[in-house]
Amino acid sequence: MLRKSIIFFSATVIISLFYCNESTEEKIDNSGEQNKKIHEIEYVKKFSSIFAFKKNGYKWVMSIHDTAVLPEMYQKGNFQGDNINAFFTLAKKYHNIEKGIFLDVGAHVGTTSIPVASRKEIDKVIAFEPSRENYSLLKSNIALNYLDEKIIPVKAAISNKYGTAILELSEDNTGDHRVRSNNIFKIRNLFNEDERETEQVRMITLDGYIIDNNINPKDIRFLWVDTQGYEYFILDGAKSLIRKDVAIIVEFWPYGLLRTNSLEKFVNLLKANYTHYIDMNEYRQKHNKKIHEIEDVDKIVKWLKNTSYFTDLFLINNK
């Protein structure tokens, strides 16, 4: 049964759900006119702030104003789908993980949690999302896909301490909301961060959440962190999960880390706790599956420091 919080949909949302159904998508895909998908999003924007659609067997509701994640989700049915499949392949290869709890930090509207929840390796997904709007859409997507028993949504920002934080809200990319550090490193604002609206959010730690909810840390075998430059604070507050038997993937975005004044701290944390990493951008290129010494992370910093580019790192500890 759907959660009570989403039983009521406005007429425009219902219209968009039927308007953007899979039969429409199939017709568009067969004709090769992908630009029609963008046209459909723009059309629905006239009537609703929410875009609803069904793709690859999943139902989704997303902000109509998202020009980054929504178009890819509507066209492909997934966001970073290749990364998800590669992550589980590497988790099996390097950690011999068969099954466990999956933590999704920076869960957005469920673009990772929902497809992951149906995998045989997953006992439970705990999805952390601080944004009020994203969290509401996350809960709606969980209910629309009947995953209430598999995914636990938590409205909180993850950090290395408890308290409150300021969340910077991106106007056109709902996947780029960011926790603002109290000690922002002054660099050029590539995304007009100083002009963003903000929202106060609750802040907790993973270690604290695990204790407060009587979870055995050994049951947690997967950690997915995508938080736009706040990764250091998350791992610093998750010491019970920095283990050899936990598969961890973290976003590595020097620009974002610089803005939270945590780039050097994050690099030092990685070097202190891991021996190797796999650059997921490289891994997805079939000809390059190199395992890097952890010290090579300095090269990524050098290459990407003054750009808006990023990668994701699969962390390995062979100590």
Other C-beta atoms lying within 10 Å of the C-beta of residue 145: 20
Whether residue 71 is found in the same domain as residue 104: no
Whether residue 202 is found in the same domain as residue 57: no
| Total domains in the fold of the chain | 2
Whether residue 64 is found in the same domain as residue 91: no
Whether residue 10 is found in the same domain as residue 100: no
At residue 279, what are phi and psi to the nearest 5 degrees? -80, 115
DSSP string, the chain: ---GGGS---HHHHHHHHHT-HHHHHHHHHHT-THHHHHHHHHHHTT-SEEEEEETTEEEEEETT-SSHHHHHHHHS-SSHHHHHHHHHHHHHHH---SEEEEEES-TTTTTHHHHHTSTTEEEEEEE---HHHHHHHHHHHHHTT-TTTEEEE--EE-SS-EEEEEEE-SS-TT--EEEPTT------TT-GGG-EEEEEEEE-HHHHHHHTT--GGGEEEEEE--TT-HHHHHHT-GGG-STTSEEEEEE-HHHHHHTT-HHHHHHHHHHH-SEEEEHHHHTSTT--PPEEGGGHHHHHHHHTTSS--EEEEEE---
Whether residue 116 is found in the same domain as residue 245: yes
- Model confidence pLDDT, tens digit, residues 189-213: 777 788 899 999 999 999 999 999 9
Whether residue 90 is found in the same domain as residue 197: yes
Whether residue 9 is found in the same domain as residue 87: no
Whether residue 118 is found in the same domain as residue 52: no
Residue the block writes with tokens 């891991």? 274
Range of the domain at 41: 4-76
Where the chain has pLDDT below 70, the residues are: 1-34, 36, 39, 43-44, 46, 182-188, 287, 306
The pLDDT, as a whole number, for residue 5 is 40
Q: Could you tell me how far CA 34 lies from the centroid of its own chain?
A: 25
Which residue, 47, 76, 105, sits at the end of a domain? 76
Distance set, CA 8 to CA 3, 12, 14, 48, 54 (Å): 10, 12, 10, 14, 18
Which residue, 59, 76, 93, sits at the end of a domain? 76
Whether residue 188 is found in the same domain as residue 47: no
Whether residue 56 is found in the same domain as residue 97: no
Whether residue 144 is found in the same domain as residue 203: yes
Whether residue 136 is found in the same domain as residue 188: yes
C-alpha radius of gyration, the chain, whole number? 19
- Model confidence pLDDT, tens digit, residues 115-133: 999 999 999 999 999 999 9
CATH number at 251 reads 3.40.50.150
Q: Could you tell me how far CA 279 lies from the centroid of its own chain?
A: 17
